[in-house]
């Protein structure tokens, strides 16, 4: 058939042998070659899939994040519940030292962006737009908020999932988080500062009086980590305002889940009075 | 399969090489941007959530 085969079987040989055995040999050779080429093709496609997961999804996710970022900025600018800083009501502006600031409640449809996550430990300018819902569709765009869990600042558990590797790798370095590290959630009108649980002085994750660890590695079915009180029953009472991040562990695997727990630290900062963010972001 | 394609590409060697290259790129693009995005949700590699 091909030139390679012709070289393998010198003409003198083929002429002298009878037709029957030669044809059977050809068929066998074609089959083996076909099998070999199929296996090589499967291998190449698998490699290409790895390239897709590691690099191409990053490009796609970066584009999604750009769009979301644009969308959420537009949304916040047009939001009637958020008074723009210059035209803030006089009484509120006149009494900034008190804490009358209560952020507007957030209601958002599945798939829509509603907050921006800032984690200075991961990168000084780290910011990812969080979308409502933690299904594949939403996670392809960025970190996703588990449906039914608390909203930023609320009592309960604000639970967010994100990809470790690929899709922009928002939570790639989540294992570098240390106790006391700030996780800042920006919403339409407020900044919420959460801090990773644990003992900041010793760096131990299990130093919190509540007994909730700052970091844990669990089985994929350990849904109690996103309970109102992390580790408690799914319909149990909330004992505080928590934030939980989930991603896969170890890297390049989906065997386990890496979990980071944090608790709300102090009152929210109004965006009208601190447009550039809380001190935790600057330091 | 590859031999068959190679024999059916027209023209002299440079033209064949170019055509083969274009074919490879076309198939790669089809896989990367059409096939893989559809197949990916069916595979377990990208689970990051906790589910019962």
Q: Is residue A232 domain-resident?
A: yes
Residue A101, in any domain of the structure: no
pLDDT at A2 over 80: no
- Please indicate, yes or no, if residue A60 is contained in any of the structural domains: yes
DSSP A204: B
Domain count of chain A?
1
pLDDT in tens, A177-210: 999 999 999 999 899 999 999 988 888 998 888 8
Q: Is residue A100 one of the residues assigned to a domain?
A: no
Confidence band, pLDDT 50/70/90 cuts, at residue A18: low
A4-8, A114-118, B4-8: which has the minimum mean pLDDT?
A: A4-8
Q: Does B3 touch chain A (CB under 8 A)?
A: yes
Count Cβ atoms within 10 A of the Cβ of residue A230 and give its class: 0-12 exposed, 13-18 middle, 19 or more buried.
buried
Asked if A155 contacts A242 with a C-beta cutoff of 8 angstroms, the reply is: no
Contact A225 B45 (CB under 8 A): no
Q: What is the CATH number of the domain that holds A62?
A: 2.40.260.10
Give me the domain span that covers residue A225: 52-85+107-282
Question: Does any domain span residue A102?
Answer: no
Lowest mean pLDDT among A47-61, A75-89, A239-253: A75-89
Chain A residues touching residue B40 (CB < 8 angstroms): 53, 136
Q: What is the nearest CA distance from B9 to chain A, expressed in angstroms?
A: 14
Name which of A53, A221, A254 is nearest B44 (Cβ-Cβ).
Answer: A254
Sign of the torsion formed by the C-alpha atoms of A238, A239, A243 and A245? negative
Instruction: Please check whether residue B13 touches A, CB under 8 A.
Output: no
Residue A184 lies in a domain: yes
Task: Give residues with Cβ within 8 angstroms of A73, minimum separation 6.
Answer: none
In a domain, A204, yes or no: yes
Contacts of A144 in chain B (CB under 8 A): 49
Residue A8 lies in a domain: no
Residue B41 contacts A where some CB pair is shorter than 8 Å = yes
Residues A37 and B2: beta-carbon distance below 8 Å: yes
| Interface size between A and B, measured as CB pairs under 8 A | 76
Confidence of residue A20 (pLDDT cuts 50, 70, 90): low
**Tens digit of pLDDT for each residue in B1-33?**
788 899 999 889 999 999 999 999 999 999 998
């Amino acid at each position: 058939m091909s030139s390679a085969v012709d070289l393998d079987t010198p003409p003198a040989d083929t002429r002298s042998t009878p037709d029957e055995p030669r044809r059977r040999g050809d068929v066998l050779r074609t089959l083996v070659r076909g099998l070999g080429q199929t296996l090589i093709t499967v291998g190449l496609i698998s490699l290409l899939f790895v390239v897709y997961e590691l690099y191409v999804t990053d490009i796609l996710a970066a584009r999604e994040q750009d769009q979301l970022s644009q969308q959420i900025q537009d949304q916040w600018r047009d939001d009637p519940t958020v008074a723009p800083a210059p035209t803030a009501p006089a009484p509120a502006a006149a009494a900034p030292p008190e804490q009358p600031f209560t952020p507007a409640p957030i209601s958002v449809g599945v798939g829509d962006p509603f907050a921006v996550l800032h984690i200075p430990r991961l990168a000084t300018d780290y910011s990812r737009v969080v979308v409502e819902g933690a299904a594949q569709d939403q996670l392809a765009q960025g970190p996703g908020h588990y449906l039914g869990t608390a909203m930023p600042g609320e009592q309960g558990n604000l639970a967010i999932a994100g990809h470790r590797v690929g899709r922009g790798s928002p939570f790639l370095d989540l294992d570098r988080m240390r106790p006391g590290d700030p996780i800042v959630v920006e919403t339409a009108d407020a900044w919420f500062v959460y801090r990773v649980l644990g003992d900041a002085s010793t760096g131990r994750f299990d130093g919190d009086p509540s007994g909730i660890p700052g970091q844990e590695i669990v089985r994929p079915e350990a849904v109690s980590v996103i309970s109102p009180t992390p580790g408690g029953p799914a319909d149990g009472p909330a004992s505080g305002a928590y934030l939980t991040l989930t991603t896969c562990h170890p890297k390049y695997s989906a065997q386990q889940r890496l979990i980071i727990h944090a608790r709300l630290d102090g009152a929210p900062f109004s965006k009208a009075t601190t447009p550039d963010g809380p001190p935790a972001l600057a330091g | 399969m590859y031999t068959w394609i190679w024999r059916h590409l027209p023209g002299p060697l440079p033209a064949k090489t170019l055509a083969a290259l274009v074919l490879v790129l076309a198939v790669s693009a089809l896989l990367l941007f059409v096939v893989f995005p559809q197949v990916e949700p069916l595979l377990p590699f990208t689970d990051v959530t906790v589910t019962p």
